Amino acid sequence: MKNRTALITGGASGIGKKTAILLAEKGCQVIINYRNSEAEAISLAKHLEHCYGTKCLAVQGDVALEEDCIRIVNKSMSVFKTIDILIHNAGPYIHERKKMTEYSSDEWNYLIHGNLSAAFHLSKQVIPIMRKQKWGRIITLGYDRVETSPGWIFRSAFAAAKTGLASLTRTIALEEAENGITANMICPGDITNDWKEKSIQDALVAEKYTTNTGTGRQGTGEDIARVISFLVEEKSDFITGSIIPVTGGIDVLGKALKHH
pLDDT higher at 254 or 70: 70
How many percent of the chain have pLDDT more than 70?
95
Quote the DSSP letter at residue 209: T
CATH classification of 5-259, choosing from 3.40.50.720, 3.30.365.10, 3.40.50.1220, 1.10.10.10? Answer: 3.40.50.720
How confident is residue 242, by pLDDT bands cut at 50, 70 and 90?
very high
Of 69, 24, 64, nearest in space to 44 by CA: 24
Measured distance CA(6)–CA(225) in Å, rounded:
13
Range of weakest confidence among 102-106, 107-111, 251-255: 251-255
Q: Mean pLDDT over residues 133-142, rounded?
A: 98
Q: Rounded to two decimals, what is the model's pTM?
A: 0.94
> Residue 22 has what pLDDT?
96
> Residue 62 has what pLDDT?
97
pLDDT tens per residue across span 179-192: 999 999 999 988 88
* Domain map (residue ranges) of the chain: 5-259
Q: Mean pLDDT over residues 63-70, rounded?
A: 98
Mean pLDDT of the chain: 93
- What is the strand order of the sheet 5-8 is part of? 56-60, 29-34, 5-8, 85-88, 136-141, 181-188, 243-246
How confident is residue 260, by pLDDT bands cut at 50, 70 and 90?
low
Measured distance CA(96)–CA(115) in Å, rounded:
17
> Residue 259 has what pLDDT?
60
